[in-house]
Amino acid sequence: MYEDGVTQYLDAKRKAAKRVLGRATKNLPSNGEISDALYNLAKFHQGDELSSVLFEMRLLAMDVMEQLDEFNPRLIGSVSTGRIRQGSDIDLHIFTDSLEKIQLAIEQLGWNYEIEQIVMQKDGRPTEFNHIYLDLEFPVELSIYPENEIRVQGRSSTDGKPIERMSASKVRELILLEHSDEWSEYLTAG
């Protein structure tokens, strides 16, 4: 996942098992164990650079969220937890009943994007979800959910716990808390 850019835990597990054992196996590490190992690799290879990249990613996340405020964006994943690595993207949940409305908003902002339908299991059955990928300074993935699901809290594929979703104001608070020096420099430079 770190070197080859594999994005899905299951794909990475299968690839690693085949590479190491020469065959598939059912005895694979948990997603949480893989996440921990990836983060430790990132800290080893990127060290102090991780903090400045995380700050830049959080700034971009906050900006995108503020630009798309009408869709109640929420930040999830590695940028919210601080456990980024090489190849991390900014994951946002967006809430709208109209794919066309979010497309129009993105086009008015002049952002390049791609839409992909992804099939995932929901309540034991395959369900299609639209994802929009923004081509910005860092990759941004918008997962589109119906407006009435804003209060529905999914579970993390990494640790099985409820996914914490952060509003733009919470991201701003996080930046002030964890990146106060960089934030001050950013404000004086801007």
Q: Which of 85, 97, 147, 89 is nearest to 114 (CA)?
A: 89
Rounded mean pLDDT, 164-181: 94
pLDDT above 60: residue 39:
no
pLDDT tier at 161, thresholds 50, 70, 90: confident
pLDDT digits (tens, 9 = 90+) for 117-133: 988 777 788 888 899 99
Q: Which of 49, 55, 39 is nearest to 174 (CA)?
A: 55
pLDDT digits (tens, 9 = 90+) for 139-148: 999 999 999 9
pLDDT above 70: residue 31:
no
pLDDT tier at 153, thresholds 50, 70, 90: confident
Whether 68 and 38 have beta carbons less than 8 Å apart is answered as no
pLDDT of residue 127: 80
Rounded mean pLDDT, 152-165: 79
Neighbours of 91 (CB within 10 A): 21
Rounded mean pLDDT, 94-106: 97
What 3 state SS string does the chain have?
A: CCCCCCCCHHHHHHHHHHHHHCCCCCCCCCHHHHHHHHHHHHHHHHCCHHHHHHHHHHHHHHHHHHHCHHHCCEEECHHHHCCCCCCCCEEEEEECCCHHHHHHHHHHHCCCEEEEEEEEEECCEEEEEEEEEEECCCEEEEEEECHHHCCCCCECCCCCCECCCECHHHHHHHHHHHCHHHHHHHHHHC
Rg of the chain's alpha carbons, rounded to an integer?
18
pLDDT digits (tens, 9 = 90+) for 42-98: 555 566 777 889 999 999 999 999 999 999 999 999 999 988 887 889 999 999 999
Q: What are the phi and psi torsion angles at 128 (to 5°)?
A: -90, 135
pLDDT above 60: residue 136:
yes
pLDDT of residue 122: 72
